[in-house]
Chains A and B, each alone.
Chain A
Amino acid sequence: MITTVLTVDDSRSMRDMLKHSLVEAGYRVIQAEDGMHGLEVLNSESPDVIITDINMPRLDGFGFIEAVRKEACWRAVPMLVLTTEMDTEKKLRAKNAGANGWIVKPFDPVNLVAAIRRVTATVAGTAD
């Protein structure tokens, strides 16, 4: 089964680079341009992993993670933050909101795919 990744980032250039790397690694990619759009996408799509930026208009990454975790059906989906931020407090805030990991841009495709595999394996293991 092909793993579907939802990427949420307000930069089209970043979304394009993410899509290129993830499709090359065998993933199906769906995209949203901010947190609000990400929530809209979740009404019709069922991603296996979500990768979200933090600094976005309308609804930022923190708000997006919190909103996703409020929905029972999305409580277990792995969520990775991909951001330029390196601030420890922000990292802790994302963790408390329900994120599963923190990746600092510019991303390395190999490390990104490894992180996706680890968080999806962890969720699958928990389900077993």
Chain B
Amino acid sequence: MDQNIAERRINIVQGEQRVESDPSVVLTTILGSCVAACLCDAEAGIGGMNHFLLPGEDVENRPASSALASQRYGVHLMELLVNALLKKGASRSRMQAKLFGGARMIRGLTDIGEKNATFAEKFLAAEGIPVIGGSLRGDFGRRIQFWPVNGLARQSLLDSEKQSIFQEERRIVAKPVAAAGSVELF
């Protein structure tokens, strides 16, 4: 971090992703059960962050098809981030990840934070992208700052704001992707 450069802070909300190569940019987000994947190709100076919550907090009790639909949505969001990095010039083989979030929700309900954390870990393992840091699970909210060009990240815990963060996340329904699943035959 060059202290002489004025920082430009960009907040990433649920369902969004952003890729940057500008050294003045800091990507920020606040997480409860949601997960933020922070990917970086430090050699190319390109990084990005997403912020997602897989749809269906009662996945265990839903038909297998619904659980798979949730997985497809998650894979899609992760692919959008990876593709955005590749388009900016990052190399898949140099990408490294830090994962944050996935905290436990209100006791008694399905641990959707655990499901999101496990999904993100499995996805990155399958894609061969090493997870070199971060902080997953637990029962506290997190404020994350991520410097995309070098992959540095800073986390602050938000004990007192925990309940409001979780309730806010649950109110936000996963955004349908425009034209998702659409088929056009030529």
Which residues of A come within 8 Å of B, CB atoms? 10-14, 16-17, 20-21, 55, 57, 84, 86, 91, 95, 99-109, 111-112, 114-115, 118-119
Contacts and interface: CB of A to CB of B under 8 A. Distances in A.
B181 A100 contact: no
Interface centre among B126, B127, B128, B181 (most CB of A within 10 A): B181
Chain B facing A: main interface SS: helix
A115 B76 CA distance: 20
B126 to A, nearest CB: 5
Given A20-B68, A86-B178, A106-B177, A14 B183 contact: no
B76 A91 contact: no
B181 A84 contact: no
A16 B126 contact: yes
Contact of B182 (A10, A20, A104, A109): A104
Contacts of B78: 13
Nearest to B176: A106
Interface string B46-77: 00000000000000000000001001110110
A99 B186 contact: yes
Nearest to B128: A12
Nearest to A10: B92
A105 B76 contact: yes
Given A12-B126, A55-B83, A106-B180, A101 B185 contact: yes
A107 B126 contact: no
A13 B127 contact: yes
B179 interface: yes
Contacts of A100: 185-186
A11 B177 contact: no
25 contacts: A11-B75, A12-B126, A12-B127, A13-B127, A17-B68, A17-B72, A20-B68, A21-B68, A84-B79, A84-B80, A100-B185, A102-B186, A103-B181, A104-B179, A104-B182, A106-B72, A106-B73, A106-B75, A106-B180, A107-B181, A109-B68, A111-B181, A111-B183, A112-B183, A115-B183
A13 B75 contact: yes
User: Which 5 pairs show the lowest CB-CB distances between chains A and B?
Assistant: A106-B76, A108-B181, A101-B185, A106-B72, A12-B126
B66 to A, nearest CB: 12
B184 interface: yes
A103 B183 CA distance: 5
A107 B179 CA distance: 10
Given A11-B82, A17-B71, A119 B185 contact: yes
A11 B183 contact: no
